[in-house]
Structure 1
């Protein structure tokens, strides 16, 4: 049984839809992909491809890179939002930052453009500790501050780490951020060569989670911020609990036995103190690849007897890599707030429990699964803010 309930009381977001949580919600609610045609990609950097890339913006004072500016903007929006909802920072505010490929563009420039030499101050901006430290200084926070990384499951990993901090009374509140603005031409090319990234057509045509004809995912970027607390506020979401396991099987493939994926879901339910028949929705990892679709449908059928409705927002926001799970948790939180699940429209025959487009929601518990490349399995159990 979980030690206590953690709520999301502030949200900030920078995504392919633009800067701000309202842009994310309006984009998801529209049922249209965030991806646009972007030139300068491909193996020879001469192709125009579909990417859900974060557009220019932000405050130059927050850093030279798109990544630093997006991370600070998402954090600032989440903190401002939380304060407007009644949150007052406690004495011990911790900071968790989920990253997988931090400052990819700046490291590329450091080696290819700067010849490996920079002013010391500019070099320090490349370190993953720097944006964390700068944010702690901005808000005069003095709790623990660290980065977490679990590939595409990093968002779930950060939420679970934050809950452990709160359960252990290490902090009073946590600001949790997930940032991944790593779409350099080389990174995109390698996802395409792996056979999972699809950039040659509009995402809703190619990325069809749990539907016939799906080819993979559109590659995306995002920075997302949450303020997490146990104290009474006007919250978006309650995080009841969750779990992580590891396949220890292959660098890119899910173990076909699914033993540890299923164990992860059972353990998440146990930790959250809920039964399988209480899960109403599955907000899936859903990248549109055959092996992930197969794994998550098996969980839906074997653990939940095919009862919950299932959806994935990756056809809309793109696969935002290290920030993917955080974007998808934000979609659930905003869905509870607005009374609508922002599921994408279906474009082909699919699973009988797959939601087709925006769907009214009046409550119910959601399971959020994320499967990170290399064998990272994760699941968090999410409920409306009034859940007891």
Structure 2
């Protein structure tokens, strides 16, 4: 079988584990969640909440907020990594930034603080600003734009990058997904929706495909990748993918799973891969009942019994608009290290669920992400050619 696609040739991450891909990977394979008891949330009368918040850090010159600094740091790390692995930028380098809630902290302060307000403070909060400064830093002149599809934004951005490359619009793409939105206000809304857990340790509350799961622990991240067909040493290859929309409800998955299952089938067809070729399902896996049911149904009806499923959300947290991107980064690093960074099993589980870090024998990985409101997305990944 001839594998087609685009290569992931550089990776950079900023997560609750810290600033850099090293802390991210070490945290995943340790099996210890990034979330900590964090003060200042005041949920249900508790001052402390379990969240995987990105710690303060980064370069002051990259912006006034953790958001801007994380975005620039992750992108810069991915570009540096790609160059060290043999990538040389082509004439047209594009930039795609997946984002749902940007500069939450700055916007809150901007409207809550009294006058006077500086024009530079206002401009700093625009979603185009960190993109513009990154393009200026590297002298890139390809198209640059934001992508937003709720939790599926990362997959959506990567599919857009592949479309740009397939169409010859660009020679290379720098892709970044950033979500640093864990204010007490935002965490409270997800807890009230009944999908987020903040009052117990992550592995106790978030158990995808296991009994007793109550939902997800919220996280933050910025994950970046360089995508190209001009590299000697890739992490992984994106063969293809698909997106559909339920057109059903603002939060819930359509019970018949018609569009979810169509998304998986069309992704495999687009990638030129048979369901029997799939070795791993890197699931959306937030630990909610409806997502466990949806992805469990696909696993059991579409993929072979030998396929295995895992989710990294109990470890890195649900990183919202950056979720699927940080999970693709985990899958790409899995090929590099020959280890699947699965979360440990802590309760009776689906028989195909991996238990903690597991040796990897290559093969096709399917990455699904089911964004709130009906955004279904699936990527098909393979080892580097």
TM-score band by shorter chain is over 0.9
For residue 42 of structure 1, what is the aligned residue in structure 2? 42
- For 1:41 and 1:295, how far apart are their aligned partners in 2? 32
Tell me if structure 2 keeps the 8 A contact 1:71–1:179. Answer: yes
- For 2:334 and 2:49, how far apart are their aligned partners in 1? 30
Cα 1:328/1:79, change in 2 over 3 Å: same
For residue 181 of structure 2, what is the aligned residue in structure 1? 182
Tell me if structure 1 keeps the 8 A contact 2:17–2:23. Answer: yes
For residue 356 of structure 1, what is the aligned residue in structure 2? 355
Tell me if structure 1 keeps the 8 A contact 2:340–2:358. Answer: yes
Could you give the per-residue CA deviations for residues 251-283 of structure 1, whole angstroms, max 9, x where no partner exists?
Answer: 000000000000000000000000000000000
Query: What RMSD in Å do the two structures reach over aligned CA positions?
Result: 1.5
- The 5 Å alignment of 1:284-295 reads 284-295=283-294
Deviation (angstroms), 1:231: 1.4
Could you give the per-residue CA deviations for residues 181-210 of structure 1, whole angstroms, max 9, x where no partner exists?
Answer: 000110000010000110101101100000
Tell me if structure 2 keeps the 8 A contact 1:2–1:271. Answer: no
- For 2:158 and 2:2, how far apart are their aligned partners in 1? 14
- The 5 Å alignment of 1:246-325 reads 246-325=245-324
- The 5 Å alignment of 1:1-388 reads 4-43=4-43, 47-114=47-114, 118-386=117-385
Tell me if structure 2 keeps the 8 A contact 1:97–1:158. Answer: yes
Of 257-266 and 227-236, more deviation after overlay is shown by 227-236
- For 1:176 and 1:50, how far apart are their aligned partners in 2? 29
Tell me if structure 2 keeps the 8 A contact 1:279–1:308. Answer: yes
Deviation (angstroms), 1:352: 0.4
Tell me if structure 2 keeps the 8 A contact 1:33–1:316. Answer: yes
- For 1:3 and 1:121, how far apart are their aligned partners in 2? 48
In the superposition, the TM-score normalised over structure 1's length comes to: 0.97
- For 1:269 and 1:218, how far apart are their aligned partners in 2? 30
- For 1:114 and 1:161, how far apart are their aligned partners in 2? 41
Deviation (angstroms), 1:337: 0.3
Deviation (angstroms), 1:113: 2.4
Deviation (angstroms), 1:4: 4.5
Of 40-49 and 79-88, more deviation after overlay is shown by 40-49
Cα 1:44/1:60, change in 2 over 3 Å: farther
Tell me if structure 1 keeps the 8 A contact 2:56–2:66. Answer: yes
- For 1:307 and 1:152, how far apart are their aligned partners in 2? 28
- For 2:215 and 2:127, how far apart are their aligned partners in 1? 30
Deviation (angstroms), 1:161: 0.2
Deviation (angstroms), 1:335: 0.7
In the superposition, the TM-score normalised over structure 2's length comes to: 0.98
Cα 1:308/1:44, change in 2 over 3 Å: closer
Could you give the per-residue CA deviations for residues 140-177 of structure 1, whole angstroms, max 9, x where no partner exists?
Answer: 00000000000000010011000000000000000000
Deviation (angstroms), 1:46: 5.9
Tell me if structure 2 keeps the 8 A contact 1:3–1:167. Answer: no
Deviation (angstroms), 1:307: 3.6
- For 1:294 and 1:108, how far apart are their aligned partners in 2? 37
Deviation (angstroms), 1:75: 0.5
Deviation (angstroms), 1:301: 1.1
In the alignment, structure 2 segments of 5+ residues that lack a partner are none
Count of residues in correspondence between the two structures: 385
- For 1:359 and 1:113, how far apart are their aligned partners in 2? 50
